[in-house]
């Protein structure tokens, strides 16, 4: 096996482990929030799409207090993190783990009876390449009237995909106009938090 192949295999394993850890960390934090605030039906979800103030309030109430080894980014580096995540000018907060990974949340389609939020996780944060499905991966949180609460890898368009071949095809075509972030994240979760040999973006 060549050195580039060895490096790629190591990177695949490292990313997969960190994605699994991030998913379980966020889910556990929400579980702890439920123990304090009650079931999500009692929570105050963002009601306006793209509202950074509501987004930050939600994260700082129901998520951040239940995380360890993480800090809110409040320096100039936050501007670069948000730029890397595609959130320029949105005013969303960035959060950095002690292992050097980071994440942000953005409110998607939301209203008085439903809320969709997108989490963007970068396993090496400010290090390159800062590209979706290479070192940045998307997750989705959704709740209808505070009920049917879910947090999982993927995006809106992956919620209806239940077959691996469909997820793989969507992941391969992630740069097509209209692509919703998260197809590749959902594929990795579907594969048991493993980046398999046919994963298209890390060779």
CA distance 186 to 181: 10
Return the pLDDT at 177.
46
pLDDT in tens, 101-114: 999 998 887 776 77
Q: What percent of the chain has pLDDT over 90?
A: 58
Q: What is the 3 state secondary structure string of 152-186?
A: EECCHHHCCCCCHHHHHHHHHCCCCCCCCCCHHHH
The b/e string for 149-176 (b: 16+ C-beta within 10 A; e otherwise) is bebbbbbebbbebeeeebbbebbbebee
Q: Please count the other Cβ atoms lying within 10 Å of the Cβ belonging to residue 52.
A: 20
Residue with tokens 């980014």: 73
Residue 183: half-sphere exposure toward Cβ, Cα within 13 Å: 22
The whole model's pTM is what? Answer: 0.92
CA-atom Rg of the chain in angstroms:
17
Cβ–Cβ contacts within 10 Å for residue 71, how many? 13
The contacts found for 193-201 with CB under 8 angstroms, 24 or more apart, are 193/16, 193/17, 193/19, 193/20, 193/23, 194/16, 195/12, 195/13, 195/15, 195/16, 198/168, 199/12, 199/171, 200/171, 200/172, 201/133, 201/134, 201/171, 201/174
Q: Which residue has the tokens 């009920």?
A: 147
Angle, nearest 10°, between helix axes 3-37 and 183-190? 90
Query: Token pair of 56, please?
Result: 């930050």
Alpha carbon 133 to its chain centroid, in Å, reads 11
The per-residue pLDDT for 176 is: 59
pLDDT of the residue at 146? 66
Which residues of the chain are modeled with pLDDT < 50?
177-178
- Is residue 118 within 8 Å of residue 140, measured between CB atoms? yes
């Amino acid at each position: 096996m060549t050195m580039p192949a060895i490096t790629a295999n190591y990177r695949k394993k490292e990313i997969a482990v960190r994605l699994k850890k991030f998913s379980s960390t966020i889910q556990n934090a929400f579980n702890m929030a439920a123990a304090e605030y009650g079931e999500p039906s009692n929570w105050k979800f963002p009601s306006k799409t793209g509202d950074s103030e509501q987004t930050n309030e939600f994260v700082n109430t129901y998520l951040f207090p239940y995380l360890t080894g993480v800090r809110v980014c409040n320096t100039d580096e936050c501007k670069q993190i948000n730029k890397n995540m595609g959130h320029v000018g949105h005013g969303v907060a960035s959060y950095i783990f002690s292992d050097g990974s980071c994440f942000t949340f953005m409110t998607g389609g939301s209203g008085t009876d439903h809320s969709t939020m997108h989490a963007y996780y970068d396993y090496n944060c400010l290090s390159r390449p800062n590209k979706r499905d290479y070192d940045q991966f998307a997750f989705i949180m959704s709740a209808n009237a505070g009920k049917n609460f879910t947090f999982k890898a993927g995006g809106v368009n992956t919620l209806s995909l239940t077959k691996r071949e469909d997820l793989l095809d969507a992941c391969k075509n992630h740069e097509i106009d209209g692509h919703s972030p998260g197809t590749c994240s959902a594929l990795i979760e579907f594969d048991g938090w493993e980046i398999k040999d046919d994963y298209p973006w890390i060779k």
